[in-house]
Amino acid sequence: SQQGEEDPQALSIQEGENATMNCSYKTSINNLQWYRQNSGRGLVHLILIRSNEREKHSGRLRVTLDTSKKSSSLLITASRAADTASYFCATDQGAQKLVFGQGTRLTINP
């Protein structure tokens, strides 16, 4: 079964607006990662947050982690057309095995 579940499944916003995606998971984790996928091909690593961290920033990306609620959020500020992609959260389940959610399909309208 999928460890991570993203919400919403699809999100469409205007360029310049902020986009927020959420991820929930079921078991204890060491870290949670967010990846982006363009056009159904290879994934690009965006950011990793460890279980003892609550918030992390990288450029226009802000990730939060609430281990008590077993949830994480990814915020993309000042969205651009190039941010259009699918975004996946992934949690570790030991032995370097990542379990991915179903993803959020983000569309940025010009």
Partner 1 sequence: GAGVSQSPSNKVTEKGKDVELRCDPISGHTALYWYRQSLGQGLEFLIYFQGNSAPDKSGLPSDRFSAERTGGSVSTLTIQRTQQEDSAVYLCASSLEAGGLIYETQYFGPGTRLLVL
Residues binding partner 1 (CB under 8 A)? 2, 4, 30-31, 33, 35, 40-45, 48, 88, 90, 92, 95-103
Q: How far is the CB of 107 from partner 1 (least distance, A)?
A: 14
Burial class of residue 23 (count of CB atoms within 10 Å of its CB; 0-12, 13-18, 19+): buried
Structure tokens at 41: 């091909």
Q: How far is the CB of 101 from partner 1 (least distance, A)?
A: 5
3-state secondary structure of 83: helix
Q: How far is the CB of 16 from partner 1 (least distance, A)?
A: 28
